[in-house]
Chain A
Amino acid sequence: MTYERINFETDSERAVGDEKLQHALVNVTNRFRSARNKASSEVPGWDELRTLAREIKKETIENLDRYLIMLEENVKKAGGHVHWAKDGEEACRIIIEIARKNGVNSVVKSKSMATEEVELNSNLERAGIRAVETDLGEYIIQLAGEHPSHIIAPAVHKTKDDISRLFSEKLGVPYMSDPADLTKVARERMRSEFLSAGMGVSGANFAVAETGTIVIVENEGNARLTTTVPRIHAALMGIEKIIPRYNDLSLFLTLLARSATGQKSSTYVSFITGPRRESDADGPEEFHLVLLDNGRSGILANGETRESLYCIRCGACLNNCPVYRKVGGHSYGWVYSGPIGAIINPQLLGIDKAPELPFASSLCGACRDVCPVKIDFPKVLLELRHEVKETKAETGKGRELFFERLAFRLWRTIVTHERLYGFFSSLMYYVQMPYRGESGGLGSLPYPFSRWTRDRDFPAIAEIPFRERWKELRKEIGEGSTK
């Protein structure tokens, strides 16, 4: 699959100017944020739990090969099939093949960012297989032909009115403004889809290596139907979603639910170990687990940024990120948004596809504060920034970058020579003179500083810098009084 280069600057500017979106973003992030804060403060030793989860993830990712093989063995032991997909194309091919072999021409889907990542829906369609999203938010997005804009609330950017209009346009139902009615419409449509689908495709929140169990966490109950009603169930998951032991689950489930929505526990948690057994009341006859690499082993190979793989996709970092709160999910250009998108999109897609994203952060660190596995975002972002410059990945901006590089080289020469530094700062004092406004500050500077002065004044350079003032000060406070 080839992806377009992500253009954060243009997209984010559009988002910042979109009042409706701003309103929606403030609402949803505030709601999630306070729920998460409350939920986390109720758990004694919350911070220690995060540390523990981080340690478990660290150990798991560092021994990923071993755990994946263990998972494969145990899934097979339980009667399931395991497939390895090195990229999105292969993942889609595998799933399409499973469908074809079984004569499936319609698929229901639930709870999966990985399928978004590999663009499964459009690939299924091209293969002549209908795919219907069954989670309400995803369903709305699918109808609108858009991408999710929040990890756990994919349709956050849509208002009730948007959805009403979308439904009446695409489903031919009358315009209705009550969300309950809309949900009912979606639910009715879904019911027949479930019954006619030959295959259910889901993601997985966790996969337990020790037992070969995949775990799906949700609130609507659609994943439960997706994985039990159709004759075949295929789960697609990134290889990093693995958890070593069954016993670790209680920790991760606690962290996930409380970080994501502030719930003590999500409404439904499904544990799936292989296909149905003789004694089971329901469940699919065939179970397939597709393990997706798609760039993940590349992240694994980089010791400095490897911790990006610890993520359990709770979305807490989005809700706390002041940048996400302004620009929304679509600005990040791909399935993953917010701080986690800023670090994994460039790594999964290739840094030349998303060179702006590592810079789309003020490095405030609020994301690290809430992340249940304590991913050190500022560190990873800084590492990626370095990589962008090192590999000259920002090719789209040739001239601008040339001057930026030059400016930093010049700056380095100046600040490593004290005399030059002193000379330069007094030179700048005179250079700035014509730009001084009545307030004493600088009101409009030439490019690139105009990007600052469009909405803010810039401070004026002091006539006497501190280093000069110090000479007087020192006399005043009594030079060597205590020496």
Chain B
Amino acid sequence: MNPYGLELTVLRPAMRVYLFVTCLVDTFFPGVGEGMVRVLDRLGVDVEFPAAQTCCGQPAFNSGYREDAQAVAERFISIFGNALQERRDEETYIVCPSGSCTTMLKVFYKELLSNSPIQLNKLALIANKTYEFSEFLVNVMKRADVGASYKGVVTYHDSCHLLRELGVKDEPRRLIEAVRGIEFREMEMHDACCGFGGTFSVKFPRVSVSMLDEKIDCIIGSGADTVISSDMGCLMNIGGALSRRKIPVRVMHLAELLAHTGSEGD
């Protein structure tokens, strides 16, 4: 460790990350994608964005439309498969700022494509290389401190897929705690679902909002001014209620938080 708390890891020169930017991030929250690029770039990673990507197919899969989901999944696999092919000899990864979409690729694709051995083969090649953002930083790059600083009191909402499908719980917290100037406070029921659940939130809005109410209470109870999470789905749900009720707590994706340096942050 040097005086700034940065871990002095020597990076292998050609570590490369292909960004798997979810459709939600692309369309609504491009700042999250940008945050991810800035953090990875700061760490000396070579970042690429396979531009043909659109969506992983999760909305259709979760809604029961498997045929539609399959067409989208196959396209997705071929785009990332081709990208990896280009640099097969080097350390290349696919990194995604969403536990949910990473789960779609690593867990649900297997089910979706179970009747197509060829697709499963192709899938195996990319699935092994794919990581959710915080998981990648901590477990692959072995970095908890990524040189970020932020002035504020934050709390963390565990998104369900990241926590329960991918088993990622400590990684985001380690990253948050290493941010300079930050105060981290665990909220009660941090691992309870916020009520988003994709189309669930539209199919059963009353139930969804009732679940969300409990989450909002926990967030307020923590006394944090910022709530961090690793999935924009949850944050759009939580943020939507906070802004509707004019509650002065902001929502921020972990990648945006980690992109903060210097005296940024309020």
Contact = CB atoms under 8 A, between A and B. Distances in A.
Contacts of A408: 59-60, 63, 65, 68
B47 A477 contact: yes
A451 to B, nearest CB: 4
Contact of B54 (A13, A16, A421, A473): A421
Contact of B55 (A13, A404, A415, A469): A415
Interface string A385-398: 11111100000000
A465 interface: yes
Contacts of B241: 455-457
Given A323-B211, A455-B241, A359 B200 contact: yes
Interface string A415-449: 11010010001001000000000010101000011
A264 to B, nearest CB: 26
A411 B59 contact: yes
A438 B207 CA distance: 27
Contact of B71 (A361, A389, A412, A483): A412
B72 A418 contact: no
A412 B204 contact: no
B185 interface: no
Interface string B231-245: 000001101110110
B207 A386 contact: no
Interface stretch (A86-94, A103-111, A268-276, A362-370): A362-370
Contacts of A474: 49
A361 B212 CA distance: 14
A456 B222 CA distance: 21
B51 A412 contact: no
Interface of B is mostly: helix
A416 B51 contact: no
A392 to B, nearest CB: 11
A459 B37 CA distance: 22
A170 interface: no
Nearest to A463: B30
A364 B197 contact: yes
Contact of A477 (B37, B57, B199, B243): B37
Contacts of A213: none
B13 A482 contact: yes
Contacts, number: 194
B6 interface: no
Interface string A357-379: 01111111110110000000011
B71 A388 contact: no
B239 to A, nearest CB: 7
Size category of the A interface is 35 or more
A17 B213 CA distance: 13
Contact of A416 (B64, B72, B195, B211): B72
Contacts of A411: 59-60, 68
A415 B59 CA distance: 12
A481 B202 contact: no
- Residue from the set A387, A388, A404, A451 with the largest chain B CB neighbour count within 10 Å: A451
Interface of B: 13-14, 16, 21, 23, 25-30, 33-34, 37-38, 41, 44, 46-47, 49, 51-52, 54-55, 57, 59-66, 68, 71-72, 75, 108, 111, 160-161, 164-165, 191-193, 195-212, 214, 236-237, 239-241, 243-244
Given A17-B206, A443-B244, A451-B202, 7 more contacts: A322-B211, A365-B161, A366-B192, A382-B64, A470-B49, A473-B34, A477-B38
27 contacts: A17-B206, A322-B211, A359-B199, A361-B197, A362-B195, A362-B196, A362-B197, A362-B201, A362-B211, A366-B191, A382-B108, A385-B62, A388-B64, A408-B59, A408-B60, A411-B59, A415-B72, A451-B203, A455-B205, A455-B244, A457-B239, A467-B49, A469-B30, A473-B34, A474-B49, A477-B47, A482-B16
Interface of A: 8-9, 12-13, 16-17, 322-323, 326-327, 358-366, 368-369, 378-379, 382, 385-390, 404-405, 408-409, 411-412, 414-416, 418, 421, 425, 428, 439, 441, 443, 448-449, 451-452, 454-462, 464-467, 469-470, 473-474, 477, 481-483
